[in-house]
Amino acid sequence: MLLPTRRHTVRLGHALAACTNPGDLLLLSGELGAGKTFLARAWARALGARRRVTSPTFVLVNEYMTSKGLLLHADLYRLRDTPTFERDVLRLGLRERRDEGAIVLVEWGDEAERLLGGPAAITVVLRFAGERGREVSLQGPRAQCVEVGVAVEQEPR
Amino acid sequence: MLVLGIETSCDETGAAVVSSDGTVLSDVVESQVALHAEWGGVVPELASRDHLRNTGPVVREALAKAGLRLDQVDAIAVTCRPGLVGALLVGVQTAKGIAWGAGKPLVGVDHLVGHLVSVFLRREGETTQEGLGFPYVGLLVSGGHTALYRVEGPCADQIHELGATRDDAAGEAFDKVAKVLGLAYPGGPRIDRLASEGDPLRVKLVPPMARRGSLEFSFSGIKTEVARRVASGGVPQGDALCDLCASFQSAVTGVLAKKLFEAVERERMDRVVLGGGVSANRELRRRVEELGRQKGIATLVPSLASATDNAAMIAYAGIKRLERGEVDGGDLVATSETVLEQLTRKGRGRRGSSPHAFSVPRRTE
């Protein structure tokens, strides 16, 4: 799927939010500058987060209240490639927060799926596609739900 | 009044003793930069463990350096927000223990408030800067935060956000660009040094969010632009690397300085204050001082030790709360969000419901 403009990304955010449930693990994957945080913001806003959604790189985890309960926006960028990666991810306690019903949205979390409490409901892979914008692919049990949502959103009304 | 401050909000464990007039009697920072350099950044969960190990020794050293016993300080101040709750908790629980054990009042301090008043600290050999006072426009610029504030006084309810970053903090952009360019951590000082040998005009980078009228920042796009260049053309070497660093630094510091003075004009202020680790950037200082001179605005920049994360600013901000009769109890909690109100996306009104304040202040005698 291609995201030629920011507006397309925002629409995708709405479709993702519609398919998100409490306790979900959601992964955002892609290189530096692929647009992970931008999509995370669109997603969080569509879920009803009212506070400013900024990069969690420095603080690791930002918390937002949404219409579907607590949303934790995490970024494992600074934990990658360290010998204590596993232990550090576990210490963030995201798995336990999921059990309590929090939606956990993680950037740079591909290698931590198991540590975050098991299968991601949706994995979004973003790729910069030059002039054409961003390319996105969806994986996971709820990917189809999102695709249908995007298709409906893009139908002329 | 003498206050012991404790700070564990991110990568530094700090303890300090400060008096009411801002005199820093001691300020100990157990810097963990050496530990983190190996991984190319700060690893907060590593930090959290280190805070636990460091807090006791750091507090004892702060008291020893000030030549004081615990019973000679009047209160304990501690950073209780914003940040990673696990790291903050180490400081908050330590402070509670000390306050309870020594029978001293406890105050929680917002880390951002600490940064915004850090210019009032006077360290050994420092004199009070000319023109210091309230109100002012504060530019807080660090790895985790980038925002402009109208600062009418030293307490959270006297500080009003004028604009902030929509995405990445300026310091985060410096660190990520440095990593893309293969430079060692911390990235800011290295880019600063390479930039001083480069020509900022040779590489064209779009100044981030340079649109007039908005006091919001965005540093995600310029980071992406640099990453894109490196992805297609490889990491530049030699002069080309210096030129790219110079362009990047010029674009980032240019927009910071420009919006700072737009805020000054809008708020009709006559002084500006910097705070946060990125205020150590030489080009940012040069630009702000130059614009200040041109426009007749007093420019106040804290010393490097005061600008970066430290516990002295927490102690000072704590003193200002105590002077208003505010004090926290054993129910003080560590919170990930700042107490400072945020603007809406469009810069109109406040965002969401009003942020919950510190636990209801009790009046002291």
CB atoms inside a 10 Å sphere around CB B203: 20
- Domain edges within chain B: 2-121+307-339+355-363, 136-302
* Residue ranges of chain A whose CB lies within 8 Å of a chain B CB: 31-33, 37-38, 41, 50-52, 54-55, 57-63, 77-79, 81-82, 84, 87-88, 91-93, 128
Taking the CA of residue A151 and the nearest CA in chain B, the distance in Å comes to 28
With beta carbons less than 8 A apart as the criterion, state whether B313 and B178 touch.
Answer: no
CA distances from B80 to A8, B14, B318, B331, B336 (A): 39, 13, 11, 12, 9
The CATH number of the domain covering residues in B2-121+307-339+355-363: 3.30.420.40
Which residues of chain B are within 8 Å of residue A58 when distances are taken between CB atoms?
10, 42, 143-144, 169, 171-172
**Single pTM value for the model:** 0.88
Which of A36, A51, A55 is the best mutation test for B, with the most CBs of B within 10 A?
Answer: A55
Chains A & B: contacts with CB separation below 8 Å: 95
Return the sign of the alpha-carbon dihedral for residues B250, B252, B257, B262.
positive
CB contact under 8 A, B45 and A91: yes
CB A78 to CB B336 under 8 A? no
- Contact between chains at B144 and A62 (C-beta distance less than 8 A): no
The yes-or-no answer to whether B2-121+307-339+355-363 and B136-302 have a common fold is: yes
Map residue A23 onto helix, strand or coil: coil
Interface contact flag, B45 A31, Cβ < 8 Å = no
CATH of domain B136-302: 3.30.420.40
* CB atoms A37 and B168 under 8 Å: yes
Cβ–Cβ below 8 Å for A78 and B165: no
Tell which residue, B28, B30, B27, has the closest CA to residue B12: B30
Q: How many C-beta neighbours within 10 Å does residue B213 have?
A: 7
- Per-residue confidence in pLDDT tens, chain B, 365 aa: 999 999 998 767 899 999 999 999 999 987 644 455 555 555 554 556 667 777 888 899 999 999 999 999 999 999 999 987 888 999 999 999 999 999 999 999 999 999 999 999 999 988 888 889 999 999 999 988 999 999 999 999 999 999 999 999 999 999 999 999 999 878 889 999 999 999 999 999 988 876 677 899 999 999 999 999 998 899 999 999 999 999 999 999 999 999 999 999 999 999 999 999 999 999 999 999 999 999 999 999 999 999 999 999 999 999 999 999 999 999 999 998 899 988 755 544 554 433 333 333 444 43
Contact B342 A51 (CB under 8 A): yes
